[in-house]
Chain A
Amino acid sequence: MSDNLLLQVENVTKTFRVQGKKLHAIENVSFALEPGKTLGLVGESGSGKSTLGRLVLRLLDSDQGRILFNGTDISKIKKKDLRALRRDMQIIFQDPSASLNPRMTVGDAIEDAMEIHQIGTKAARQARVSELLQRVGLPDEVKYAYPHELSGGQLQRVGIARALSLNPKLIICDEPVSALDVSVQVQVIQLLRDLQKEYNLTYIFISHNLAVVEYLSDEIAVLYLGEVVEQAPADELFRNPSHPYTQVLLNSILKIPERPEQRQEMLSIQGEVPSPLNPPKGCPFHPRCAFAMETCRTIKPEQRTVSEGHFAACHLVDQAAGGLHR
């Protein structure tokens, strides 16, 4: 089975030092991903979801654990080999205007990716730029434009084209539509979905927006204070959310009602995400959990199996399943 995995993340941990204190950004996270699939990472601010994405690409070095990409442990390889390996793993950022060089035309920005890896001749690269722009739905003239001349949606398409130019196997999408207007969000998401089918891309899709994550993902991991509190196939997670935090998250989403009777009352939810500099003992969610018991305050829950492929890190896993869930 493990031959068929593109990515295996095993017990990865990352700590930052902030003002002399330890900040546990990611604690003991593991997951695996098959080619052509999408893993969604959901969480609120401070959950460590973006850090996790950067650890997978080794834009940050992890403290512990292994990250196997196509069987190679990328946390061990030399910087030079890593640069070559980057062809296969790319990232799309939330704010494309910050990730592009303001003094480089869009065409040059895309071409630069290929130039770095010495792919093709200048003419071939330029032909490829045109092809990519067309593929992401931008007219050819865009290549002469500077980033400040394009709208957010167009820039995000440029970011996608640049990532695609290297024919990567894995793309990390870090909140790629959060900064875009609603009507443009769908356009970009559908583009990402179509490209995945066409090139058999593997995605890690990071977002705070559960609905968007659900739409694109095969598997979803819910993060809270640097830990995976629940992980399951997408449909299973929404059918049977088993961690109290996942349930709170789902209940916080305001859906557009289809009938007036479906309008939601505003719920009272206790507490806020604690500072990762000073995380609670025991279960990280217990101060906000409606079902917290004495054990939750002292003992950190292990991942428990809810059903095949569905895990939740909660002492109450069997009882809570039916509890809050509507």
Chain B
Amino acid sequence: MASTAAAARTELAVKKKSKNRSPLYQGWKRFKRHRLAVIGLVWVSLFFIAGVIGPWVAPYDYRVGDFLAINQGPSLKHIFGTDNVGHDMFSQILYSVRSALIIALGATLVSFVIGIVLGLWAGLRGGIADVIIMRAVDFMMTLPGFLFALILVILLGRGYWSLILAIGIPGWAGYARLVRSLVLGMRNGEMVEAATALGASQAHIARRYMLPNVVGSMGVALAFGIPGDLVQIAGLSIFGMGLQPPIPSFGNMIAQASDNILGFPWLLYFPAGIFALTLLSFLFVADGLQEAFSPKGGN
């Protein structure tokens, strides 16, 4: 008996107690090795910070135009220039970041919650519930999501809430399908069989065993989802179906500026450039997350 204990001790390579051994920390260590992902993360963080503190740091009110300084190029006073009614472009962009983030995060959350609930339900219950939910998923997937959102905006109006719902509701199907496939994979796996053998109830298994693993794998899907929603928001604005002016948004700015691209190119360059960089950054981050947290991401 003593010999087995001694044996195990030599076998042991476990370091002392600390938090840094969680799968999350291990993933972060792997994430850090991807340079583009880290650069992307820095930009995304700046974007978030700008969204939060924007109203306090913006040098001008987004509603007020300076009629004495319309269509000015970048200067010390207006570093990104001004538009045709004298709005400071830098302030406009700061406010746009805020509105874009509110809608994108809200919409992603809406899709995510609906998707997880329905996906878990379909995967765990199976049977008729599964069939109905999966047919609904198929239906949603064949529908062009953008068109669906457009119709919803027309029905719901052009406010924050309606945009969140219009973009969020059509987006659940992909998440639901992912969750369902994860759940099905686990349901027939040994981990769930082991928990069942312990005497765990279905609810306990769903909560303690499946959900943490589902959410873990969903992080990546989420990181891919946000830029998708950002594009939808901008798209709706370009169609004139985004946020009601004067609330600034990337889509509005880009749409307006493209009318005047020859005369005042900075009006397009700055918002479009920042928007494109943001999308790219999100994708880099998502890519990095995927590699860091994929099951094969070990040593």
Contact = CB atoms under 8 A, between A and B. Distances in A.
Q: Do chains A and B touch in the complex (CB under 8 A)?
A: yes
B296 interface: no
B125 interface: no
Contacts, number: 108
A153 interface: yes
A99 interface: yes
Interface string A92-109: 010100111111100000
B14 A149 contact: yes
B126 interface: no
Nearest to A86: B199
A162 interface: yes
Interface in B221-236: none
Given A101-B212, A142-B14, A57 B198 contact: no
Contacts of B208: 101, 104, 112
A199 B213 CA distance: 35
Contact of B198 (A141, A157, A166): A166
A146 B7 contact: no
- Which bucket holds chain B's interface residue count? 35 or more
Interface string A64-98: 00000000000000000001111100110101001
A166 B198 CA distance: 9
Contact of A90 (B197, B204, B209): B197
Interface string A149-189: 11101100100001000100000000000000000100100
Contacts of B13: 151
Contact of B12 (A113, A139, A194): A139
A59 interface: yes
Interface in A267-294: none
Given A83-B199, A116-B204, A137-B7, A100 B23 contact: no
B191 A98 contact: yes
Nearest to B210: A101
A117 interface: yes
Given A93-B190, A100-B191, A154 B8 contact: yes
Given A112-B208, A145-B21, A148-B298, A191 B4 contact: yes
A244 B11 CA distance: 42
A184 B11 CA distance: 9
B193 interface: yes
A191 B4 CA distance: 7
Given A103-B23, A103-B212, A139 B14 contact: yes
Contacts of B7: 137, 187
Interface string B177-205: 00000000000011101111111110010
B196 to A, nearest CB: 6
Contact of A95 (B190, B195, B198): B190
Contacts of B22: 146
Contacts of B1: 194
A2 interface: no
A118 to B, nearest CB: 11
Contact of B213 (A54, A101, A113, A166): A101
A116 B14 contact: no
B197 A141 contact: no
Contacts of A90: 197-198
Scoring B5, B14, B198, B298 by chain A CB atoms within 10 A of each residue's CB, the highest score goes to B198
Interface of A: 54, 57, 59, 83-87, 90-91, 93, 95, 98-104, 112-113, 116-117, 134, 136-139, 141-142, 144-146, 148-151, 153-154, 157, 162, 166, 184, 187, 190-191, 194
Interface of B: 1, 4-5, 7-9, 11-14, 16-18, 21-23, 26, 189-191, 193-201, 204, 208-209, 212-213, 216, 298
Closest 8 CB pairs of A and B: A86-B199, A99-B194, A137-B8, A98-B190, A137-B5, A103-B212, A99-B190, A83-B199
